[in-house]
A and B are shown apart, each in its own frame.
Chain A
Protein backbone atom coordinates (compact mmCIF):
# COMPACT_ATOMS: atom_id res chain seq x y z
CA UNK A 1 0.00 0.00 0.00
CA UNK A 2 1.16 3.50 -0.80
CA UNK A 3 1.04 6.02 1.97
CA UNK A 4 -0.04 9.55 1.24
CA UNK A 5 -3.84 9.27 0.80
CA UNK A 6 -4.50 11.63 3.68
CA UNK A 7 -2.35 14.35 2.17
CA UNK A 8 -3.86 13.79 -1.26
CA UNK A 9 -7.48 13.76 -0.08
CA UNK A 10 -7.04 16.90 1.96
CA UNK A 11 -5.14 18.66 -0.84
CA UNK A 12 -7.94 17.74 -3.26
CA UNK A 13 -10.32 19.60 -0.98
CA UNK A 14 -12.43 16.55 -0.12
CA UNK A 15 -14.23 16.51 3.24
CA UNK A 16 -12.03 13.93 4.94
CA UNK A 17 -12.62 11.45 7.73
CA UNK A 18 -9.93 10.20 10.09
CA UNK A 19 -10.56 7.90 13.04
CA UNK A 20 -8.68 6.72 16.08
CA UNK A 21 -7.74 3.16 16.97
CA UNK A 22 -6.20 2.53 20.37
CA UNK A 23 -3.50 -0.16 20.55
CA UNK A 24 -3.99 -3.02 23.04
CA UNK A 25 -2.84 -3.06 26.65
CA UNK A 26 -0.68 -6.11 25.94
CA UNK A 27 0.86 -8.04 23.07
CA UNK A 28 -2.27 -9.75 21.77
CA UNK A 29 -2.87 -7.92 18.51
CA UNK A 30 -5.93 -9.88 17.34
CA UNK A 31 -8.59 -7.54 18.72
CA UNK A 32 -6.73 -4.51 17.36
CA UNK A 33 -6.58 -6.15 13.95
CA UNK A 34 -10.27 -7.03 13.94
CA UNK A 35 -11.15 -3.45 14.92
CA UNK A 36 -8.97 -2.27 12.03
CA UNK A 37 -10.67 -4.72 9.65
CA UNK A 38 -14.06 -3.38 10.74
CA UNK A 39 -13.03 0.23 10.11
CA UNK A 40 -11.22 -0.32 6.83
CA UNK A 41 -12.74 1.89 4.16
CA UNK A 42 -14.55 4.15 6.62
CA UNK A 43 -11.77 6.67 7.11
CA UNK A 44 -8.87 7.89 4.98
CA UNK A 45 -6.36 7.47 7.78
CA UNK A 46 -6.29 6.13 11.31
CA UNK A 47 -4.62 7.61 14.38
CA UNK A 48 -2.71 5.16 16.51
CA UNK A 49 -2.45 6.61 20.00
CA UNK A 50 0.82 6.93 21.91
CA UNK A 51 0.17 5.62 25.43
CA UNK A 52 -2.94 7.78 25.59
CA UNK A 53 -3.88 9.22 28.99
CA UNK A 54 -0.42 8.08 30.08
CA UNK A 55 -1.52 4.44 30.30
CA UNK A 56 0.99 1.89 28.99
CA UNK A 57 -0.10 0.22 25.79
CA UNK A 58 1.50 -1.34 22.71
CA UNK A 59 3.62 1.33 21.05
CA UNK A 60 2.11 3.63 18.44
CA UNK A 61 4.89 2.78 16.00
CA UNK A 62 4.17 -0.96 16.22
CA UNK A 63 0.41 -0.31 16.01
CA UNK A 64 0.91 1.92 12.98
CA UNK A 65 2.97 -0.76 11.26
CA UNK A 66 0.25 -3.39 11.86
CA UNK A 67 -2.30 -1.05 10.22
CA UNK A 68 0.05 -0.26 7.36
CA UNK A 69 0.56 -3.95 6.64
CA UNK A 70 -3.23 -4.46 6.62
CA UNK A 71 -3.64 -1.74 4.00
CA UNK A 72 -4.91 1.01 6.32
CA UNK A 73 -3.11 4.35 6.33
CA UNK A 74 -1.84 5.11 9.83
CA UNK A 75 -1.31 8.44 11.60
CA UNK A 76 1.45 7.86 14.11
CA UNK A 77 0.78 9.78 17.31
CA UNK A 78 3.93 10.98 19.00
CA UNK A 79 4.05 12.62 22.43
CA UNK A 80 6.85 14.55 24.10
CA UNK A 81 6.03 13.05 27.50
CA UNK A 82 8.08 9.87 27.29
CA UNK A 83 10.90 10.66 24.86
CA UNK A 84 13.55 13.31 24.46
CA UNK A 85 14.59 14.91 21.16
CA UNK A 86 17.00 12.04 20.40
CA UNK A 87 14.34 9.33 20.75
CA UNK A 88 11.66 11.35 18.93
CA UNK A 89 13.86 12.05 15.91
CA UNK A 90 15.00 8.43 15.88
CA UNK A 91 11.41 7.16 15.90
CA UNK A 92 10.55 9.49 13.02
CA UNK A 93 13.44 8.13 10.93
CA UNK A 94 12.23 4.62 11.72
CA UNK A 95 8.59 5.39 10.91
CA UNK A 96 9.44 7.08 7.64
CA UNK A 97 11.73 4.22 6.58
CA UNK A 98 8.86 1.80 7.29
CA UNK A 99 6.58 3.87 5.04
CA UNK A 100 4.61 5.66 7.76
CA UNK A 101 4.34 9.31 6.82
CA UNK A 102 1.50 10.84 8.80
CA UNK A 103 2.47 11.89 12.27
CA UNK A 104 0.51 13.76 14.94
CA UNK A 105 2.69 15.83 17.27
CA UNK A 106 1.43 16.11 20.84
CA UNK A 107 2.91 17.33 24.08
CA UNK A 108 1.05 14.46 25.74
CA UNK A 109 -1.29 13.83 28.66
CA UNK A 110 0.53 14.39 31.93
CA UNK A 111 1.85 11.20 33.56
CA UNK A 112 -0.05 11.95 36.78
CA UNK A 113 -3.31 11.00 34.99
CA UNK A 114 -2.09 7.57 33.91
CA UNK A 115 -1.34 4.18 35.41
CA UNK A 116 2.28 5.01 36.27
CA UNK A 117 1.86 8.33 38.11
CA UNK A 118 5.25 7.84 39.77
CA UNK A 119 7.10 8.06 36.46
CA UNK A 120 9.30 10.97 35.40
CA UNK A 121 7.85 13.00 32.54
CA UNK A 122 10.41 13.96 29.90
CA UNK A 123 8.98 17.10 28.18
CA UNK A 124 12.35 17.94 26.62
CA UNK A 125 10.24 19.49 23.83
CA UNK A 126 6.70 20.77 23.50
CA UNK A 127 4.40 19.96 20.58
CA UNK A 128 5.25 23.17 18.68
CA UNK A 129 8.97 22.51 18.93
CA UNK A 130 8.38 18.92 17.77
CA UNK A 131 6.43 20.17 14.72
CA UNK A 132 9.28 22.55 13.88
CA UNK A 133 11.92 19.83 14.23
CA UNK A 134 9.97 17.42 12.01
CA UNK A 135 9.35 20.05 9.33
CA UNK A 136 13.06 20.95 9.36
CA UNK A 137 13.96 17.26 9.06
CA UNK A 138 11.64 16.97 6.07
CA UNK A 139 12.19 20.31 4.32
CA UNK A 140 15.76 21.22 5.20
CA UNK A 141 17.13 17.73 5.82
CA UNK A 142 18.56 18.70 9.19
CA UNK A 143 18.32 17.39 12.74
CA UNK A 144 17.38 19.66 15.67
CA UNK A 145 21.08 20.37 16.25
CA UNK A 146 21.26 21.73 12.63
CA UNK A 147 23.44 18.80 11.55
CA UNK A 148 22.59 17.51 8.09
CA UNK A 149 20.75 14.18 7.88
CA UNK A 150 23.31 12.25 5.83
CA UNK A 151 21.40 9.12 4.84
CA UNK A 152 17.91 10.07 3.70
CA UNK A 153 15.57 12.66 5.12
CA UNK A 154 12.08 11.57 6.23
CA UNK A 155 8.93 12.05 4.16
CA UNK A 156 6.27 13.39 6.47
CA UNK A 157 2.76 14.79 6.60
CA UNK A 158 2.70 16.62 9.90
CA UNK A 159 -0.32 16.96 12.15
CA UNK A 160 -1.10 18.44 15.52
CA UNK A 161 -4.01 18.92 17.89
CA UNK A 162 -5.88 22.11 18.69
CA UNK A 163 -8.30 22.80 21.50
CA UNK A 164 -10.79 25.56 20.65
CA UNK A 165 -12.43 25.19 24.08
CA UNK A 166 -9.62 25.49 26.62
CA UNK A 167 -8.71 28.58 28.59
CA UNK A 168 -7.50 31.20 28.01
CA UNK A 169 -9.89 31.10 25.03
CA UNK A 170 -8.44 34.19 23.36
CA UNK A 171 -5.02 32.55 22.90
CA UNK A 172 -6.33 29.47 21.14
CA UNK A 173 -6.15 30.79 17.59
CA UNK A 174 -2.73 32.32 18.34
CA UNK A 175 -1.56 28.89 19.36
CA UNK A 176 -2.96 27.37 16.17
CA UNK A 177 -1.09 30.04 14.23
CA UNK A 178 2.15 29.11 16.01
CA UNK A 179 1.66 25.50 14.97
CA UNK A 180 1.15 26.65 11.38
CA UNK A 181 4.30 28.80 11.55
CA UNK A 182 6.15 25.76 12.91
CA UNK A 183 5.14 23.83 9.78
CA UNK A 184 2.04 21.79 10.59
CA UNK A 185 0.01 20.42 7.66
CA UNK A 186 -3.17 19.25 9.36
CA UNK A 187 -5.00 19.78 12.64
CA UNK A 188 -7.34 17.48 14.56
CA UNK A 189 -9.34 19.36 17.16
CA UNK A 190 -10.51 18.38 20.61
CA UNK A 191 -13.93 16.68 20.49
CA UNK A 192 -16.57 19.22 19.54
CA UNK A 193 -19.73 19.29 21.66
CA UNK A 194 -20.06 23.03 22.12
CA UNK A 195 -20.79 23.98 18.52
CA UNK A 196 -21.18 27.72 19.24
CA UNK A 197 -17.74 27.94 20.77
CA UNK A 198 -16.30 25.92 17.87
CA UNK A 199 -17.98 28.24 15.39
CA UNK A 200 -16.53 31.35 16.98
CA UNK A 201 -13.06 29.75 17.00
CA UNK A 202 -13.49 28.98 13.29
CA UNK A 203 -14.67 32.55 12.64
CA UNK A 204 -11.37 33.81 14.04
CA UNK A 205 -9.46 31.12 12.11
CA UNK A 206 -11.06 32.24 8.85
CA UNK A 207 -10.61 35.93 9.59
CA UNK A 208 -6.86 35.29 9.77
CA UNK A 209 -7.07 33.05 6.62
CA UNK A 210 -5.56 30.18 8.60
CA UNK A 211 -7.99 27.69 7.03
CA UNK A 212 -6.10 28.28 3.78
CA UNK A 213 -2.80 27.38 5.41
CA UNK A 214 -3.74 24.21 7.29
CA UNK A 215 -6.31 21.42 6.99
CA UNK A 216 -8.66 21.39 9.97
CA UNK A 217 -10.48 18.24 11.03
CA UNK A 218 -13.09 18.69 13.76
CA UNK A 219 -13.09 16.14 16.57
CA UNK A 220 -16.18 13.95 16.98
CA UNK A 221 -16.69 11.65 19.95
CA UNK A 222 -19.89 9.61 20.03
CA UNK A 223 -21.25 9.42 23.58
CA UNK A 224 -21.96 5.83 24.55
CA UNK A 225 -23.53 6.14 27.97
CA UNK A 226 -24.51 8.56 30.74
CA UNK A 227 -21.43 7.48 32.71
CA UNK A 228 -19.14 8.30 29.81
CA UNK A 229 -20.92 11.62 29.26
CA UNK A 230 -20.33 12.58 32.89
CA UNK A 231 -16.71 11.55 32.69
CA UNK A 232 -16.20 13.67 29.57
CA UNK A 233 -18.12 16.57 31.15
CA UNK A 234 -16.34 16.70 34.48
CA UNK A 235 -13.14 14.68 34.42
CA UNK A 236 -11.46 14.93 31.02
CA UNK A 237 -9.27 18.05 30.93
CA UNK A 238 -9.97 20.37 28.02
CA UNK A 239 -13.41 18.99 27.07
CA UNK A 240 -16.39 21.37 26.94
CA UNK A 241 -19.60 19.33 27.03
CA UNK A 242 -22.66 21.59 27.44
CA UNK A 243 -25.38 20.63 29.93
CA UNK A 244 -28.02 20.44 27.16
CA UNK A 245 -26.15 17.50 25.62
CA UNK A 246 -25.60 15.88 29.01
CA UNK A 247 -29.33 16.27 29.76
CA UNK A 248 -30.28 14.68 26.46
CA UNK A 249 -28.10 11.69 27.31
CA UNK A 250 -29.62 11.43 30.79
CA UNK A 251 -33.20 11.54 29.53
CA UNK A 252 -32.62 9.15 26.65
CA UNK A 253 -34.35 5.80 26.63
CA UNK A 254 -31.39 4.31 24.79
CA UNK A 255 -28.20 6.36 25.42
CA UNK A 256 -26.42 4.50 22.58
CA UNK A 257 -28.94 5.77 20.04
CA UNK A 258 -29.03 9.27 21.52
CA UNK A 259 -25.23 9.51 21.52
CA UNK A 260 -25.17 8.34 17.92
CA UNK A 261 -27.82 10.92 16.93
CA UNK A 262 -25.97 13.73 18.72
CA UNK A 263 -22.84 12.86 16.74
CA UNK A 264 -24.74 12.96 13.45
CA UNK A 265 -26.27 16.34 14.33
CA UNK A 266 -22.86 17.74 15.24
CA UNK A 267 -21.36 16.45 11.98
CA UNK A 268 -24.17 18.09 9.99
CA UNK A 269 -23.49 21.42 11.67
CA UNK A 270 -19.72 21.06 11.27
CA UNK A 271 -20.06 20.28 7.55
CA UNK A 272 -21.75 23.65 7.12
CA UNK A 273 -18.92 25.58 8.78
CA UNK A 274 -16.68 27.09 6.14
CA UNK A 275 -12.99 26.28 6.51
CA UNK A 276 -13.43 22.86 8.13
CA UNK A 277 -11.84 20.16 5.97
CA UNK A 278 -13.14 17.05 7.64
CA UNK A 279 -13.80 15.24 10.89
CA UNK A 280 -11.71 13.12 13.20
CA UNK A 281 -13.69 10.46 15.04
CA UNK A 282 -12.50 9.31 18.43
CA UNK A 283 -14.89 6.62 19.59
CA UNK A 284 -13.46 5.64 22.94
CA UNK A 285 -14.05 1.88 23.42
CA UNK A 286 -16.82 2.10 20.81
CA UNK A 287 -14.97 1.90 17.51
CA UNK A 288 -17.61 -0.37 15.93
CA UNK A 289 -20.01 2.61 15.76
CA UNK A 290 -17.69 4.45 13.36
CA UNK A 291 -18.89 2.78 10.11
CA UNK A 292 -22.53 3.69 10.89
CA UNK A 293 -21.59 7.30 11.70
CA UNK A 294 -19.69 7.63 8.44
CA UNK A 295 -22.46 5.99 6.38
CA UNK A 296 -25.33 7.86 8.02
CA UNK A 297 -23.65 11.23 7.67
CA UNK A 298 -23.02 10.61 3.98
CA UNK A 299 -19.25 10.75 4.30
CA UNK A 300 -18.48 7.36 2.79
CA UNK A 301 -15.15 7.55 1.02
Chain B
Protein backbone atom coordinates (compact mmCIF):
# COMPACT_ATOMS: atom_id res chain seq x y z
CA UNK B 1 0.00 0.00 0.00
CA UNK B 2 1.11 3.58 -0.67
CA UNK B 3 1.60 5.26 2.71
CA UNK B 4 0.97 8.99 2.89
CA UNK B 5 0.57 11.55 5.66
CA UNK B 6 -1.49 14.73 5.69
CA UNK B 7 0.42 18.01 5.58
CA UNK B 8 0.06 20.29 8.59
CA UNK B 9 -3.17 22.32 8.44
CA UNK B 10 -1.18 25.59 8.56
CA UNK B 11 0.66 24.57 5.42
CA UNK B 12 -2.57 23.56 3.66
CA UNK B 13 -4.12 26.93 4.59
CA UNK B 14 -1.09 28.75 3.23
CA UNK B 15 -1.41 26.83 -0.05
CA UNK B 16 -5.17 27.44 -0.37
CA UNK B 17 -4.92 31.21 0.36
CA UNK B 18 -8.65 31.68 1.17
CA UNK B 19 -9.75 30.62 -2.32
CA UNK B 20 -12.90 28.52 -2.71
CA UNK B 21 -11.86 24.89 -2.65
CA UNK B 22 -13.20 21.49 -3.69
CA UNK B 23 -11.97 18.49 -1.66
CA UNK B 24 -10.91 15.19 -3.25
CA UNK B 25 -10.09 12.00 -1.37
CA UNK B 26 -9.29 8.42 -2.33
CA UNK B 27 -11.10 5.21 -1.44
CA UNK B 28 -8.05 3.01 -1.20
CA UNK B 29 -4.57 3.69 0.23
CA UNK B 30 -5.36 7.19 1.55
CA UNK B 31 -8.47 5.80 3.26
CA UNK B 32 -6.52 2.91 4.80
CA UNK B 33 -3.82 5.17 6.21
CA UNK B 34 -6.33 7.79 7.32
CA UNK B 35 -5.00 10.53 5.06
CA UNK B 36 -7.85 11.14 2.65
CA UNK B 37 -10.81 8.86 3.32
CA UNK B 38 -14.36 10.01 3.96
CA UNK B 39 -13.70 10.75 7.62
CA UNK B 40 -10.59 12.86 6.92
CA UNK B 41 -12.34 14.75 4.09
CA UNK B 42 -15.20 15.69 6.44
CA UNK B 43 -12.77 16.83 9.16
CA UNK B 44 -10.87 18.89 6.57
CA UNK B 45 -14.14 20.44 5.36
CA UNK B 46 -15.01 21.44 8.93
CA UNK B 47 -11.52 22.83 9.61
CA UNK B 48 -11.56 24.93 6.45
CA UNK B 49 -15.11 26.23 6.97
CA UNK B 50 -14.26 27.23 10.54
CA UNK B 51 -11.61 29.47 9.00
CA UNK B 52 -14.16 30.96 6.58
CA UNK B 53 -12.84 29.14 3.55
CA UNK B 54 -15.61 28.21 1.10
CA UNK B 55 -15.74 24.47 0.46
CA UNK B 56 -17.76 24.02 -2.73
CA UNK B 57 -18.04 20.23 -2.40
CA UNK B 58 -16.16 17.00 -1.96
CA UNK B 59 -15.74 13.56 -3.49
CA UNK B 60 -13.90 10.31 -2.78
CA UNK B 61 -12.39 8.94 -5.98
CA UNK B 62 -12.37 5.17 -6.38
CA UNK B 63 -9.35 5.14 -6.48
CA UNK B 64 -7.79 8.53 -7.35
CA UNK B 65 -5.03 6.93 -9.46
CA UNK B 66 -7.51 5.42 -11.95
CA UNK B 67 -7.64 7.99 -14.76
CA UNK B 68 -10.78 6.78 -16.59
CA UNK B 69 -12.85 6.15 -13.44
CA UNK B 70 -11.81 9.48 -11.93
CA UNK B 71 -12.82 11.32 -15.15
CA UNK B 72 -16.36 9.93 -14.84
CA UNK B 73 -16.66 10.59 -11.09
CA UNK B 74 -15.38 14.16 -11.41
CA UNK B 75 -17.73 14.83 -14.33
CA UNK B 76 -20.65 13.88 -12.06
CA UNK B 77 -19.74 16.66 -9.61
CA UNK B 78 -18.75 19.29 -12.18
CA UNK B 79 -21.27 21.91 -10.98
CA UNK B 80 -19.76 22.10 -7.51
CA UNK B 81 -16.28 21.57 -8.85
CA UNK B 82 -16.61 24.57 -11.17
CA UNK B 83 -17.44 26.86 -8.25
CA UNK B 84 -13.96 26.23 -6.81
CA UNK B 85 -10.64 27.81 -7.72
CA UNK B 86 -8.50 25.26 -5.96
CA UNK B 87 -8.70 21.49 -5.69
CA UNK B 88 -7.30 20.06 -2.45
CA UNK B 89 -6.37 16.43 -3.09
CA UNK B 90 -5.86 14.09 -0.15
CA UNK B 91 -4.40 11.04 -1.88
CA UNK B 92 -0.95 9.80 -2.82
CA UNK B 93 1.16 11.82 -5.25
CA UNK B 94 -0.11 9.70 -8.11
CA UNK B 95 -3.74 10.55 -7.31
CA UNK B 96 -2.87 14.25 -7.19
CA UNK B 97 -1.35 14.03 -10.66
CA UNK B 98 -4.29 12.10 -12.08
CA UNK B 99 -6.64 14.83 -10.80
CA UNK B 100 -4.34 17.54 -12.21
CA UNK B 101 -4.39 15.79 -15.60
CA UNK B 102 -8.21 15.74 -15.65
CA UNK B 103 -8.81 19.19 -14.15
CA UNK B 104 -6.26 21.31 -15.99
CA UNK B 105 -8.10 24.59 -15.45
CA UNK B 106 -7.87 24.39 -11.66
CA UNK B 107 -5.03 24.98 -9.22
CA UNK B 108 -4.33 21.58 -7.75
CA UNK B 109 -3.01 21.51 -4.17
CA UNK B 110 -1.55 18.36 -2.66
CA UNK B 111 -2.68 18.06 0.94
CA UNK B 112 -0.43 15.09 1.64
CA UNK B 113 3.14 13.91 1.57
CA UNK B 114 3.58 10.49 -0.01
CA UNK B 115 6.02 8.51 2.09
CA UNK B 116 6.56 4.94 0.97
CA UNK B 117 5.23 1.60 -0.19
CA UNK B 118 4.66 -0.29 2.99
CA UNK B 119 2.91 -2.71 5.23
CA UNK B 120 0.01 -2.00 7.61
CA UNK B 121 1.55 -3.41 10.79
CA UNK B 122 -1.31 -2.35 13.05
CA UNK B 123 -4.35 -0.12 12.45
CA UNK B 124 -2.27 3.06 12.71
CA UNK B 125 1.22 1.79 12.10
CA UNK B 126 2.92 1.43 8.73
CA UNK B 127 6.39 0.37 7.72
CA UNK B 128 8.36 0.78 4.51
CA UNK B 129 8.97 -2.61 2.92
CA UNK B 130 9.65 -2.00 -0.76
CA UNK B 131 11.37 0.69 -2.82
CA UNK B 132 10.23 -0.76 -6.15
CA UNK B 133 13.75 -1.43 -7.41
CA UNK B 134 12.46 -3.32 -10.45
CA UNK B 135 14.53 -6.46 -9.77
CA UNK B 136 13.12 -8.46 -6.87
CA UNK B 137 15.63 -10.63 -5.02
CA UNK B 138 13.56 -11.37 -1.91
CA UNK B 139 14.04 -15.12 -2.34
CA UNK B 140 17.71 -14.63 -1.42
CA UNK B 141 16.81 -13.17 1.96
CA UNK B 142 13.95 -15.36 3.18
CA UNK B 143 11.49 -12.57 2.45
CA UNK B 144 13.29 -9.70 4.25
CA UNK B 145 14.33 -6.91 1.87
CA UNK B 146 17.65 -5.20 2.65
CA UNK B 147 17.34 -3.02 -0.46
CA UNK B 148 14.37 -1.16 1.02
CA UNK B 149 14.72 -1.78 4.74
CA UNK B 150 18.44 -1.08 5.26
CA UNK B 151 19.10 2.69 5.14
CA UNK B 152 22.39 1.91 3.37
CA UNK B 153 20.83 -0.68 0.97
CA UNK B 154 23.52 -3.14 2.11
CA UNK B 155 23.40 -6.42 0.19
CA UNK B 156 26.21 -8.28 1.92
CA UNK B 157 25.42 -8.15 5.60
CA UNK B 158 24.91 -5.68 8.42
CA UNK B 159 27.06 -2.59 8.91
CA UNK B 160 28.94 -2.11 12.17
CA UNK B 161 26.10 -0.18 13.76
CA UNK B 162 23.54 -2.95 14.31
CA UNK B 163 22.73 -3.17 18.02
CA UNK B 164 20.41 -5.56 19.84
CA UNK B 165 18.59 -6.19 16.57
CA UNK B 166 17.98 -2.48 15.97
CA UNK B 167 19.24 -0.09 13.28
CA UNK B 168 21.81 2.60 14.11
CA UNK B 169 19.93 5.14 12.03
CA UNK B 170 16.62 4.68 13.88
CA UNK B 171 16.47 2.69 17.11
CA UNK B 172 12.79 1.95 16.52
CA UNK B 173 13.62 0.22 13.26
CA UNK B 174 14.58 -3.46 13.23
CA UNK B 175 17.97 -4.12 11.62
CA UNK B 176 16.85 -6.07 8.59
CA UNK B 177 20.21 -7.84 8.40
CA UNK B 178 19.76 -9.03 11.95
CA UNK B 179 16.44 -10.54 10.86
CA UNK B 180 17.95 -12.07 7.73
CA UNK B 181 20.89 -13.57 9.60
CA UNK B 182 18.65 -15.03 12.32
CA UNK B 183 16.38 -16.48 9.67
CA UNK B 184 19.36 -18.11 7.88
CA UNK B 185 20.47 -19.52 11.22
CA UNK B 186 17.04 -20.88 12.05
CA UNK B 187 16.73 -22.54 8.66
CA UNK B 188 20.30 -23.84 8.67
CA UNK B 189 21.20 -21.65 5.70
CA UNK B 190 24.23 -19.71 7.02
CA UNK B 191 26.02 -20.63 3.77
CA UNK B 192 23.68 -18.19 2.00
CA UNK B 193 25.22 -15.35 4.01
CA UNK B 194 28.65 -16.19 2.63
CA UNK B 195 27.76 -15.55 -1.00
CA UNK B 196 28.96 -12.16 -2.23
CA UNK B 197 26.12 -10.38 -3.98
CA UNK B 198 27.10 -8.32 -7.00
CA UNK B 199 26.17 -4.63 -7.24
CA UNK B 200 22.52 -4.13 -8.03
CA UNK B 201 21.29 -3.26 -11.53
CA UNK B 202 19.67 0.07 -10.69
CA UNK B 203 18.71 0.62 -14.33
CA UNK B 204 15.83 -1.75 -13.59
CA UNK B 205 14.36 0.85 -11.26
CA UNK B 206 14.05 3.29 -14.15
CA UNK B 207 10.96 1.84 -15.82
CA UNK B 208 8.56 4.70 -16.52
CA UNK B 209 5.85 2.92 -18.40
CA UNK B 210 4.30 -0.52 -18.73
CA UNK B 211 1.70 -1.54 -21.28
CA UNK B 212 0.09 -4.95 -20.87
User: Which A residues contact B (CB, under 8 angstroms)?
Assistant: 80-81, 85, 107-108, 110, 112, 121, 123-129, 132-133, 144, 161, 163, 165-168, 170-171, 174-175, 177-178, 181-182, 190, 237-238
Interface string of B161-177 (1 = CB under 8 A from A): 11111001100000101
A-B contact pairs, 14 of them (CB 8 A): A110-B169, A112-B151, A123-B152, A123-B154, A126-B152, A129-B156, A129-B198, A132-B196, A133-B199, A167-B158, A167-B178, A168-B162, A168-B181, A174-B193
The 3 closest A-B pairs by CB, nearest first: A163-B160, A237-B161, A238-B160
Contact residue among A107, A170, A178 (Cβ-Cβ distance under 8 Å from B159): A107
Asked if B178 and A168 sit within 8 Å, CB to CB, the answer is yes
Asked if A177 and B194 sit within 8 Å, CB to CB, the answer is yes
**Given A166-B162, A168-B182, do A178 and B194 touch, yes or no (CB 8 Å)?**
yes
Asked if A237 and B163 sit within 8 Å, CB to CB, the answer is yes
Asked if A190 and B194 sit within 8 Å, CB to CB, the answer is no
**Chain A: which residue is nearest B154 at the CB level?**
A126
Q: Which residues of A contact B164 (CB under 8 A)?
A: 167
Complex Cα spacing A42 to B162, Å: 33
Asked if A171 and B163 sit within 8 Å, CB to CB, the answer is no
**Chain B: which residue is nearest A190 at the CB level?**
B160
Q: Name the distance in Å between B196's Cβ and chain A's nearest Cβ.
A: 6
Asked if A129 and B158 sit within 8 Å, CB to CB, the answer is no
Q: Which residues of A contact B162 (CB under 8 A)?
A: 166-168
Complex Cα spacing A182 to B156, Å: 11
Interface size class of B (residues with CB under 8 A): 20 to 34
**Chain B: which residue is nearest A84 at the CB level?**
B202
Q: Name the distance in Å between A208's Cβ and chain B's nearest Cβ.
A: 11
Q: Name the distance in Å between B118's Cβ and chain A's nearest Cβ.
A: 19
**Given A107-B152, A110-B169, do A166 and B161 touch, yes or no (CB 8 Å)?**
yes
Q: Which residues of A contact B190 (CB under 8 A)?
A: 174
Contact residue among B157, B163, B168, B185 (Cβ-Cβ distance under 8 Å from A128): B157
Q: Which residues of B contact A163 (CB under 8 A)?
A: 160
Q: Which residues of A contact B159 (CB under 8 A)?
A: 107, 166, 238
Contact residue among A121, A144, A167, A174 (Cβ-Cβ distance under 8 Å from B151): A121
Q: Which residues of B contact A165 (CB under 8 A)?
A: 160
* Residue with the highest number of chain B CB atoms closer than 10 Å, among A80, A175, A177: A175
Q: Which residues of A contact B168 (CB under 8 A)?
A: 110, 237-238
Q: Name the distance in Å between B19's Cβ and chain A's nearest Cβ.
A: 31
**Chain A: which residue is nearest B190 at the CB level?**
A174
**Given A85-B199, A144-B199, do A166 and B158 touch, yes or no (CB 8 Å)?**
yes
Complex Cα spacing A178 to B156, Å: 8
Asked if B196 and A181 sit within 8 Å, CB to CB, the answer is yes
Complex Cα spacing A178 to B153, Å: 17
* Residue with the highest number of chain B CB atoms closer than 10 Å, among A125, A126, A128, A129: A126
**Chain A: which residue is nearest B182 at the CB level?**
A168
Interface string of B118-133 (1 = CB under 8 A from A): 0000000000000000
**Given A168-B162, A171-B193, A178-B194, do A125 and B178 touch, yes or no (CB 8 Å)?**
no
Contact residue among A108, A125, A168, A174 (Cβ-Cβ distance under 8 Å from B199): A125
Contact residue among A110, A144, A178, A190 (Cβ-Cβ distance under 8 Å from B152): A110
**Chain A: which residue is nearest B157 at the CB level?**
A175
Asked if A167 and B163 sit within 8 Å, CB to CB, the answer is yes
